Amino acid sequence: MTDREKDREKDRELSSGEPPFMYIPEAQKNEEHGIAIPTPPFELTERTAKHGQALARHDKAEGKDDVIPDSLDEVFERLENEVGYKVSFDIVVREMTFGERRVAFFYMNGLAKDTILTEILKRLTYLQPDDVSGDAFHDFLHLYVPAAQVDKKDKWNEMLTFVLSGATAMFIDKEPHAIIIDAKAFPARNPEEPTLERVVRGSRDGFVETLMTNISLVRRRLRDPQLRYELLRVGERTQSDICIAYINDLADPELVKSIKDKIKLVHIDGLPLADKQLEEATVQRGWNPFPLVRYSERPDVVAAHLLEGSVVVFVDTSPSAMLLPTTFFDLIQHAEENRQTPFIGTYLRWVRFLGIFSSLFLLPLWLLFVVHPELKPQALAFLGPEKIGKLPLIVQFLIVEVGVDLMRLASVHTPSTLATAVSLVAAIMVGDIAVKTGLFINEVILYMAIAAVGMFATPSYELGLANRIVRLVLIIAVSLFNAPGFVIATTAILMMLSMQRSFNRPYMWPFIPFDYRAMWNIIVRKPVLKNRTRPNLLRPQQSDKMPRTE
């Protein structure tokens, strides 16, 4: 028995003897040919009666059951049995007669544009029997339905997907087809400045929960005919719309194909949490705390990455976009640096790097110097508390770490009018009383505050949380194993990050593998006219951004 067969047998044993998983032939083929693009190794395709009904709606017979009935009475009956017509109050079926032909409109109240449908009904009421020929469906589709976007559908399940997405289906008696009218009106808010990516100067529009609005914000900034938006659907029940955006003559075709293939291989009940669940199903698998995807809520940032050769994934109902592939150093970039002069931008970048470095290593190093004063340089002889306090230092650090997280959660879940008061009570009263009672020492509170500021200065919220876990690991390693523990833990974490890949791209590039030019572009914010090439990590089809001068 091969190793692969052993792994499959182990999965069956772990699932209580039932085989709910099936190996994907595409993934096996990629593995046998040595293709390095990672693909999800297993696909959830069927569950037994013990686990509920089968998930895949497209696995139903695509014969008689998937054909649109040619009788309106049969259509109404199927809508009652399959969709909940006459039970769900938001399902609307409007039956009328135009030119002596029975017609029915089927749509979701709240998702359909009622003004457009009213205008269509007005137009159709003028039809006379002589206006409708023997091919009534052709006449309604091409002559009489005054809508900008109409389409013909023959499949029942496909028609349902469009209607549940906001479109309107028009049925004609004695016609086994449906006219899909694109008259949508999604509940949406106006574009506002993102909370996590604020800039002093710059655009104030950010992504919202409506897919069409988000891609329009990017299209407004990129008037390039090579910009492509490809639409996919994921989720057997949610049928979530997913848009893959890229510039056709810039992005690596293999990267685009890899992303599309991995998304198509996702078979899941639904994506109610939108892009986060899609990330876990395609990129972020396992228990690695570091994010392998960069999220952005700014259309200008997304447009800039598209011009670099990246691929962007939008998910409907999500106010953020995924930028692929992603490296560790992409997650510490911010739009504010490019809104200032190159000198100021470089300074802000260095300050941010210093804050991130402090959030990682300040507390472990201070604890190491306190435990082993002989390791302190002479210039840092002043470091160290006069009194340790009633609790051991490691316990103080752990309590303060958990306390900061608790205050952050309390601030998030507290109404905005009370958030300031809660922060003052937690920071001043709790911290001050804890020091005065001798439970904590001043230095622990001070350095923890500096580390927390460095964490909040990290542009990526997900990276800031991952760095906090790293800091806890380093503190525990120093407490248990002193200096060797700090060195070994730091090396192990660096090796783990070096082995990570985001869509077959090294996560620690350009540090590992080292790329001098790319590393210099990260350290220094170069002027626009000096930044002439695209990152070779993305393998763009055109490496030059502008013509080279002699």
> How much is the average pLDDT of 417-424?
64
Residue 267: burial class (beta carbons within 10 Å; 0-12, 13-18, 19+): buried
For residue 297, give the nearest of 215, 189, 221, 208 by alpha carbon: 208
Least confidently predicted of 24-33, 152-161, 321-330: 24-33
Q: Name the H helices within 47-155.
A: 72-78, 114-124, 136-139
Q: What pLDDT score was predicted for residue 6?
A: 54
User: Which residues have a Cβ under 8 Å from the Cβ of 312 and sit 6 or more positions away?
Assistant: 218, 244, 245, 246, 302, 305, 306, 321, 322, 323, 324
* Model confidence at 298: pLDDT above 50: yes
**Stretch 146-171: mean pLDDT, rounded?**
92
Q: Does 36 score more than 80 pLDDT? A: no
Closest CA to 367 of 489, 235, 272: 489
More confident: 23 or 334: 334
Q: Give the pLDDT confidence score for residue 65 in this predicted structure.
A: 72
- The owner of tokens 């991995």 is 262
Question: 28 or 179: whose pLDDT is higher?
Answer: 179
Which residue has 């230092």 as its token pair?
Answer: 393
Provide CB contacts within 8 A for 490, sequence distance 6+: 474
Q: What is the pLDDT of residue 32?
A: 42
Tell me the C-alpha to C-alpha distance, in Å, between residue 164 and each of 62, 160, 410, 500: 20, 6, 38, 39
Q: Closest Cα to residue 169, out of 177, 10, 87, 420? A: 177
Q: What is the per-residue pLDDT for 195? A: 82
Residue-wise pLDDT for 351-388, tens only, equals 999 999 999 999 999 888 888 888 888 777 777 776 77
Structure tokens at 391: 């609790």
* DSSP-derived 3-state class of residue 187: coil
Residue with tokens 């407490």: 479
Closest CA to 227 of 213, 237, 217: 217
- What is the per-residue pLDDT for 189? 83
Whether the pLDDT of residue 333 is over 60: the answer is yes
- For residue 258, what pLDDT is reported? 92
Tell me: pLDDT of 70 over 80: yes
pLDDT in tens, 77-115: 999 999 999 999 999 999 999 988 999 999 999 899 888
pLDDT at 262 over 60: yes
- Give the mean model confidence (pLDDT) for residues 400-415: 79
Q: Identify the H or E element spanning 301.
A: helix 299-308
Q: How confident is the model at residue 494, as a pLDDT?
A: 93
Q: Which of 166-175, 278-287, 381-390 has the highest mean pLDDT?
A: 166-175
Q: How far is CA 240 from the centre of its chain?
A: 13
Q: Are 355 and 454 in contact (CB under 8 A)?
A: yes
Mean pLDDT of 322-351: 92
Position 43 scores a pLDDT of 37
Which of 1-4's residues contact partners 24+ apart within 8 Å by CB, and which partners?
4/28
Using 50, 70 and 90 to split pLDDT, how confident is the model at 38?
A: very low
What number is the average pLDDT over the span 119-145?
89
Q: What is the mean pLDDT of residues 384-412?
A: 80
- pLDDT over threshold 50, residue 157: yes
Query: What mean pLDDT is predicted for residues 223-233?
Result: 94
Q: Is the pLDDT of residue 417 over 90?
A: no
Long-range contacts at 13-21 (CB < 8 A, ≥ 24 apart):
18/48, 18/50, 20/44, 20/46, 20/47, 20/48, 20/51, 21/45
pLDDT of residue 452: 87
Residue 540: pLDDT band by 50, 70, 90 thresholds?
very high
Q: What is the mean pLDDT of residues 4-27?
A: 43
